[in-house]
Amino acid sequence: MEKIKISKTDLEVSRIILGCMQLGKTWNAEPISDDTIKNAINVIKTALDEGINFFDHADIYARGKSEEVFSHIWKEISGLRNKIILQSKCGIRFPNDPEDGSPGRYDFSYEHITKSVEGILRRLKTDFLDILLLHRPDPLVEPEEVAKAFDELHAAGKVRYFGLSNHTAPQIEYLKKFIAQPIIVNQLELSILHSDLIEEGVTFNQKHPSRGIRNIGTIEYCRLNDITIQSWAPLAKGKLFAENLTDEKLKIARDVVIASAEKYNVSKEAIMIAWVLRHPAKIQPVIGTTKAERVKACCQANKVQLSREDWYKLYIAGRGEALP
């Protein structure tokens, strides 16, 4: 597995990240089963065997159970903690938290950030996170509170580095004005079917763009500021290979992926991951799966270097129409 260095850190990380969202299986109060733990350990070990050393969490995943399940790996492999990168996210709150009637919302308050990290560390059974991300932009953010939380967490050795998720270039620039620590990561949705980040630069200045995307320049901003982009949902949430696919544009995109997989002699998943990896921004795809065989299928992307022509075929098929 190819490794890259995250700028402004000492972190050498695998190009592919294992997303742990579904490791805890259920998003309710149901207890964690032995089968869930056994499957999670198998998936984590498979990822490690494939050369993945980066694992992505969030405090809300399976309502905390995904982090709890992950912690069972420490008993399986001694000395593993200092050989891997653990990242988690906070900032999303469920409805009825802390009381009935509270809406689902975002919360970047000092109290919520610090309390969330304490819970994350407890569930993961670790003393520190390598990276903490703020999950989705909070319209009520007080950047001074974020700065205070980051300062304390960093000084206490509980979080080594910080980043964001789903943030635009102006939102990042605004937070950077107040935060002492460098913002090293921005995790964003990107796939063949959700290529809005790339569309920003392609449809800019079109009189009647078919896709109403503003040119914020987030990819360019991150590259200029040495912020590593991570791609969530790089497999497009499985939409291309859903049963009984009826959408004609999706069928065309599916066929292009299949043809590319046959050409490069790899899995369909590998082609979709390779499409993300081919971008010169050195984007890290986050593969979220509870199946060991799918981890292996995705990691075949590591041996694929798509030609420019094949990358564009996939891009155009995914966007559903020719370029302007």
Report whether 118 contacts 88 (CB < 8 A). Answer: no
* 3-state SS class at 289: coil
Q: Counting Cβ atoms within 10 Å, is residue 257 exposed (0-12), middle (13-18) or buried (19+)?
A: buried
The one catalytic residue in 61, 161, 264, 315 is 61
Q: Are 21 and 287 in contact (CB under 8 A)?
A: no
Which residues does residue 89 pair with via DSSP β-bridges, in sequence order? 133
What is the DSSP secondary structure assignment for residue 279, as one 8-state letter?
Answer: S
Residues 298 and 289 sit within 8 Å (Cβ to Cβ): yes
DSSP secondary structure string for all residues of 217-261: -HHHHHHHTT-EEEEESTTGGGGGG-TT---HHHHHHHHHHHHHH
- What single-letter amino acid sits at 205? N
Length of the chain: 324
**Annotated catalytic residue 264:** no
Torsion of CA 9, 12, 13, 15, to 10 degrees: 110
For the chain, first and last CA: distance in Å? 36
CB atoms within 10 A of CB 1: 15
Residue 255 and residue 213 in contact, taking contact as beta carbons nearer than 8 Å: no
**Closest by Cα among 88, 16, 61, 60 to 299:** 16
CA–CA separation, 129 vs 86, rounded Å? 6
Active-site residue set: 61
